[in-house]
Amino acid sequence: MKSLKKVDSAIYSLIKKEEGRQKDVLEMIPSENYASLAVMEALGSVLTNKYSEGYAKKRYYQGNAVIDEVEILAEERAKKLFGVAHVNVQPYSGSPANTAVYFALLEPFKDKIMGLSLAYGGHLTHGSPVSFSGKYFPVVSYTLDKNGMLDYDEIERLALKEKPKIIVCGFTAYPRIIDFKRFGKIADKIGAYLLADISHITGLVVSGAHPSPVPYVHIIMTTTHKTLRGPRGAMLMVTEKGLKKDPELGNKIDKAVFPGLQGGPHDNQTAAIAVALREAQGKLFKEYGKQIIKNAKALASALIKHNFNLVSGGTDNHLILIDLTNKKVNGAIVALALEVAGIVVNKNAVPNDKMPPFYPSGIRLGTPAITTRGMKEKEMLKIAKWMNEAISEVSGESLPEDKEVRKEFWKNFKKKVWANKKLSSIAKEVKTLCSKFRTP
């Protein structure tokens, strides 16, 4: 980054600082990962200079012969890797991609969306009242059973009663295998479109570590920067089943992305997606997907031994959701303590959470990024031990209920936690471990 250093030393220094942070800590937010240098080179290339509104061979701007090739390559790679009939690689990210699906298929204020409630692990765009999806469309939300699992009979009952036009399956905080076949049967019974948002698990799907939704759903949306390890971005895919239900489905989705919702695609992002798709074709990536799950399972078992209460009792995928109620400490407090100890997770609501989303009762963590660095089961045992030690430092700390008192408490508490000696000594051990595992 020689030029950047010369032109803008402030941004250069901040990037270097962030690079150092990413190297020295355990990045365990389950939606994060380390993109390869090849992906980042494509992302930082001259393709950022081009405008190419439209689609390959049908552009509104001249000079797009190369961009057409890039976009076609990305589409073809995705078609082959996922086994789908139609691909759109232009959505800027996951939320605009889901928006495009709704705009393509639903009439606002009339047609219903059915998705998992945000409070139970669904995404904002799956019908949350604070997002456009819940503001512009009627919504029916399903939840989880008392064990934190999807209750397919209940989902079917709700679908038959409410007759949504689209059902969304695929989640942001669900640690178990999704039965796409069962979702497919439910959607078919009421003639609904079935959208699988596999953003979190794409890398697991293409590596064969999680069953694929392709035979059972009509549309697939995935972001490209999570387990797929590409740049930030998204893809929309239509399956053979989708085209059978609606031969115009691909066209409808393309039109909703452009010109419906977006202008020019980010061609540098498209190229970087193509690179990630190429990287995901190989044997190494298959091993990567399987190791993510082995690591998550090893970490889950070790945490259970330390008396952590895991929602659903464990994990089948890359993520773990911990209900901290038995540890008598709030998720926000724990997420901060872990950050000070060099373990970066996010605070997260747990099923039936009595606390507000900013101070939820749980944390969410995952293994995609640390698996990219080459960590294995042995390291997971160390991480569980450090987590237990770090959380013991803050357990019993209670959040004041009064909002104003809480603000004041939080300010002082932050200072106290950053000065905690035990937490900084864990951070040092974490850093030593991290120094043995390369980041791209």
Active site residues: 51, 53, 197, 223, 226, 232
DSSP reduced 3-state for 212: coil
Contact assessment for residue 395 and residue 337, using Cβ atoms and an 8 Å cutoff = no
Residue nearest to ligand DSN as judged by C-beta position: 31
CA–CA gap between residue 190 and residue 205 (Å, rounded) = 27
Query: Contact letters (x/-) for ligand DSN, 99-128, by CB under 6 A?
Result: ------------------------x-----
DSSP reduced 3-state for 225: coil
73, 88, 90, 94: residue in contact with ligand DSN (rule CB under 6 A): 94
CA–CA gap between residue 229 and residue 224 (Å, rounded) = 7
Smallest distance from ligand DSN to CB 22, Å: 16
Residue with tokens 């872990």: 338
Beta carbon nearer to ligand DSN, 212 or 346: 346
- Cβ partners under 8 Å of residue 425, min gap 6: none
Beta carbon nearer to ligand DSN, 224 or 239: 224
Beta carbon nearer to ligand DSN, 124 or 177: 124
Smallest distance from ligand DSN to CB 412, Å: 29
Which token pair is 139? 């919504």
27, 31, 127, 235: residue in contact with ligand DSN (rule CB under 6 A): 31
Residue 127 φ then ψ, to 5°: 115, 15
Smallest distance from ligand DSN to CB 387, Å: 19
Cβ-count burial of 411 within 10 angstroms (0-12 exposed, 13-18 middle, 19+ buried)?
Answer: exposed
Q: Considering only CA atoms, which of 200, 210, 158, 204 is closest in space to residue 180? A: 210
52, 99, 131, 172: residue in contact with ligand DSN (rule CB under 6 A): 172
Binding residues for ligand DSN restricted to 339-368, rule: CB under 6 A: none
Interaction between residue 230 and ligand DSN (CB under 6 A): no
Contact assessment for residue 371 and residue 292, using Cβ atoms and an 8 Å cutoff = yes
Smallest distance from ligand DSN to CB 204, Å: 14
Smallest distance from ligand DSN to CB 170, Å: 11
Outline where DSSP puts E strands in 193-334: 193-197, 219-223, 234-238, 309-310, 319-323
Residues that bind ligand DSN (CB under 6 A): 31, 94, 123, 172, 199
